[in-house]
Amino acid sequence: MITLAPDGLKDVRPPLSDADVEQLKAGDRVRISGVLYTARDAAHARMRALLERGAPLPFDVRGQIIYYTGPSPARPGEVVGSIGPTTASRMDPYTPALLALGLKGTIGKGCRGPAVREALRRHKAVYFGAIGGAGAVLSRFVRALEIVAWEDLGTEAVRRLEVEGFPAIVINDCWGGDLYETGMREFAREEA
Amino acid sequence: MREIHASVVTDAVKKLCIEANLELEPDVLRAFDRALARERSPAGRQVLEILKENAEVARTRRIPYCQDTGVVVCFVELGQDVHVVGGGLEAAINEGVRQGYREGYLRASMVRSPFDRVNTGDNTPAVIHVEVVEGATLRLMLMAKGGGCENRSKFRMLTPAEGLEGVKAWILECLRTAGPDACPPLIAGVGVGGTFEKAALLSKKALFRELGSPNPDPFLDALERELLERANRLGIGPQGYGGDTTALGIHILTYPCHITSLPVAVTIECHAHRHKEVTL
């Protein structure tokens, strides 16, 4: 569900439908509340292996959002340690297949490749950016955490997070919009 | 001959690992303030403000500034009149990393082999570079180096004909292609000259100079200033959202090289520039 808050930010609450995703535009600032699943390199490799042999994934991706992160360990009494995004493009080889299954959002940092951008358009999905390297601040928005699969992967295990007001920005929308392109074009005064 | 016990090295490394990840050095915080004074992009300004807040939260709540608490890169300047006793120097450093990452609730990010990719569980081993120097002190320069930015580091062997202009273009190209992926605003450590591996080592070591301080070599200082100005005209901005702050600093070290060669290595460092040092 997407709602426009009085402060101009969009509140995002998974699960998301095609119609929800269509309301999000590159550059929109959002607050995400509800459930996120974490997965990064090693978990994606295992998910691909499951898909190749027709086995079910550790969670139903339909309508959901995957957060590319590997948190640092929680101190005693804390929910989580530092939990900022990792570079999304390393997950590019795996992402189109998950989007085809109904995954509606991913959160990371950095550019996505053309195959992912095309899959976002085709399957109506969105790529959010969270602030890379702001893991201490971002930890404040995580209310609960549990390991869903592959504890042996340590920080790379699949975790289910409950977040409240997690801040992000739409980088790639389902209409072909790309915040990195437009943002850089606005301020570029030098060719490299 | 001065004796330094290996346990003293271990304790020092442990402390550096924890403090580097929880308390950003003042030179980086000052660089954020300088960037805020000139950044025109509202999104960019907001990112810079959040980074300052992040440093404050990390310091006060003892949560790592970034969840990627890095690969430990440790440059050691070992005085030739120092004798390390009670164990090996490299083992002592790795024991400090092991203790620091466990006791500091820092993330274990090292895998034992690039092929089987099994996590070692305690962030060891560190990448250690030892240089023997004159004197009777042992200097430990430690960096918790993030993986995302490290992945954007590059090397190129230029020709002498490409010269200074070629070097400038290559450094800017490295920053442009690092782009939003490497967590800008970035810092570039640049090694020019030497050989393939010497240039790469210099590019890492260059990052230990205080951010915002002048290069002691006037020619290199002018070159760094020109490149920083041009890098900040690329438009990438904080987090790549567009803006005037793509880089916080460009630090260059050089070394003599062969008549055929012009090696240039660029280590890309993110805003989470976690560096600490101590002299024992």
Read off the pLDDT of residues A9-56 as tens digits, 9 standing for 90 and up. 999 999 999 999 999 999 999 999 999 999 999 999 999 999 999 999
- Please give the DSSP secondary-structure letter assigned to residue A34: E
Same domain, B140 and B13: yes
**Would B104 be classed as within a structural domain?**
yes
Contacts of A187 in chain B (CB under 8 A): 40-41, 235-237, 242-244
Same domain, B112 and B156: no
Contacts of B57 in chain A (CB under 8 A): 136-137, 140
Same domain, B16 and B140: yes
Same domain, B106 and B189: no
Contacts of B270 in chain A (CB under 8 A): 132-133
Among A70, A78, A110, select the one facing B67 at the smallest CB separation: A70
| A9 interface with B at CB cutoff 8 Å | no
In chain B, the residue whose alpha carbon lies closest to the alpha carbon of A41 is B117
Q: Which of B38, B53, B68 to mutate to test the interface with A (most CBs of A within 10 A)?
A: B68
What are the CB-based long-range contacts (under 8 Å, 24+) for B5-8? Answer: B5/B84, B5/B85, B5/B86, B6/B84, B6/B85, B6/B86, B6/B87, B6/B88, B6/B89, B6/B91, B6/B92, B7/B86, B7/B87, B7/B92, B8/B280
What pLDDT sits at residue A69? 98
Same domain, B164 and B199: yes
Share of chain B above pLDDT 90, in %: 100
Same domain, B9 and B122: yes
**Would B158 be classed as within a structural domain?**
yes
Model confidence over A100-147: pLDDT tens digits? 999 999 999 999 999 999 999 999 999 999 999 999 999 999 999 999
Contacts of A70 in chain B (CB under 8 A): 67-68, 107, 109
Model confidence over A97-112: pLDDT tens digits? 999 999 999 999 999 9
Could you state, in order of their start, the residue ranges of all structural domains in chain A?
Answer: 83-125+168-192
φ, ψ dihedrals at B81, nearest 5°:
-100, 15
Same domain, B127 and B240: no
Residue finishing a domain among B145, B160, B193: B145
Same domain, B13 and B81: yes
**Would B238 be classed as within a structural domain?**
yes
What pLDDT sits at residue A190? 76
Compute the nearest-CA separation of B275 from chain A (Å): 15
Same domain, B127 and B196: no
Residue finishing a domain among B125, B145, B165: B145
| Counts for chain B of helices (H) and strands (E), in that order | 8, 10
Residue whose pair of structure tokens reads 């090694």 in the numeric block: B191
**Would B74 be classed as within a structural domain?**
yes
Same domain, B229 and B176: yes
What pLDDT sits at residue B235? 96
**Would B34 be classed as within a structural domain?**
no
What pLDDT sits at residue A189? 86
Strand-strand pairing, B2-5 and B82-85: parallel
What pLDDT sits at residue B72? 98
**Would B228 be classed as within a structural domain?**
yes
What pLDDT sits at residue A176? 97
Helix axes B26-38, B42-61, angle to 10 degrees: 160
Number of cross-chain residue pairs from A and B with Cβ atoms under 8 Å apart: 177
| B240 interface with A at CB cutoff 8 Å | yes
Residue finishing a domain among B101, B125, B145: B145
Low-confidence ranges of chain B (pLDDT < 50): none
Question: pLDDT confidence of A192, banded at 50, 70, 90?
Answer: low
Q: How far apart are CA B219 and CA B240, in angstroms?
A: 30
B239 with A129: Cβ contact below 8 A: yes
| A74 interface with B at CB cutoff 8 Å | yes
Q: Environment class of residue B101 by beta-carbon count within 10 Å: exposed (0-12), middle (13-18) or buried (19+)?
A: buried
What pLDDT sits at residue A92? 98
**Would B53 be classed as within a structural domain?**
no
Residue whose pair of structure tokens reads 């003293």 in the numeric block: B8
ipTM surpassing 0.90, yes or no? Answer: yes
B65 with A135: Cβ contact below 8 A: yes
Which range of residues forms the domain containing residue B90?
Answer: 2-23+65-145
Q: Which of residues 165-184 of A touch B (CB under 8 A)?
A: 169, 179-180, 182-184
A190 with B233: Cβ contact below 8 A: yes
Same domain, B171 and B206: yes
Which residues on adjacent β-strands are paired with residue B128?
A: B74
> Considering its fold, how many domains does chain B have in total?
2
A133 with B230: Cβ contact below 8 A: no
Same domain, B128 and B181: no
A192 with B183: Cβ contact below 8 A: no
Q: Give the list of residues 6+ apart from residue B116 with CB closer than 8 angstroms, or none.
A: none
